[in-house]
Chain A
Amino acid sequence: TQLLEQSPQFLSIQEGENLTVYCNSSSVFSSLQWYRQEPGEGPVLLVTVVTGGEVKKLKRLTFQFGDARKDSSLHITAAQPGDTGLYLCAGSSGAGSYQLTFGKGTKLSVIP
């Protein structure tokens, strides 16, 4: 069974601070996705990373896929209250796989 460990589990920061969320595994994934979930809603895709070492930027969010495709990180620069939510990473074991393995999530609160 593939596992994804996310850290930290909870994060409370002031507006304007930077933060990094980690997603680690001992298994290799063919791709990794990051989702954000707001209260009362389903998760929504932020990004998919596919290539080892890949870096993708989405405004103030920077996503990195580890060289060995076993880990990923999400860095937020100058966090804003609108970034508040649950961040989930999810890994796919292959193009033919129908299942995604989810981490348990990082709950982020950005205080104005």
Chain B
Amino acid sequence: NAGVTQTPKFQVLKTGQSMTLQCAQDMNHNSMYWYRQDPGMGLRLIYYSASEGTTDKGEVPNGYNVSRLNKREFSLRLESAAPSQTSVYFCASRGAWGNSPLHFGNGTRLTVT
């Protein structure tokens, strides 16, 4: 019962490097989300995808791009990493019911030096 799977778990980048964070869910959920979590800032929404084929900006989208590859997979790309993007990144998915919960992956801890 995998739920939401994120890779990698840890990553260190130099300023200016690019990388893609991968996320897959096996719960047949329509909606998928990318959050970042920083000390004292809580969870902030970067991008979300309400359904396959659509993506929308969240609260902090600058410096990121996303791709909803299919219903299962939603990737987050950093084109030119900056130290301000050092954070823990969480992918989540959610069922169709309006009050359904978010199901989170275990996160990717990213450090940009």
Contacts and interface: CB of A to CB of B under 8 A. Distances in A.
B34 interface: no
Interface stretch (B13-21, B60-68, B71-79, B103-111): B103-111
B4 A42 contact: yes
Contact of A99 (B4, B48, B106): B48
A102 B42 contact: yes
Contacts of B31: 98
A33 B99 CA distance: 9
A27 to B, nearest CB: 15
B98 A97 contact: yes
Chain A binding site: helix, strand, loop or mixed by DSSP?
loop
Given A42-B90, A99-B48, A30 B98 contact: yes
Given A42-B4, A43-B104, A95 B98 contact: yes
Contact of B43 (A43, A45, A48, A95): A43
Given A99-B45, A99-B58, A44 B98 contact: no
Interface of A: 9, 30-31, 33, 35, 40-45, 48, 50, 88, 90, 92, 94-100, 102-105
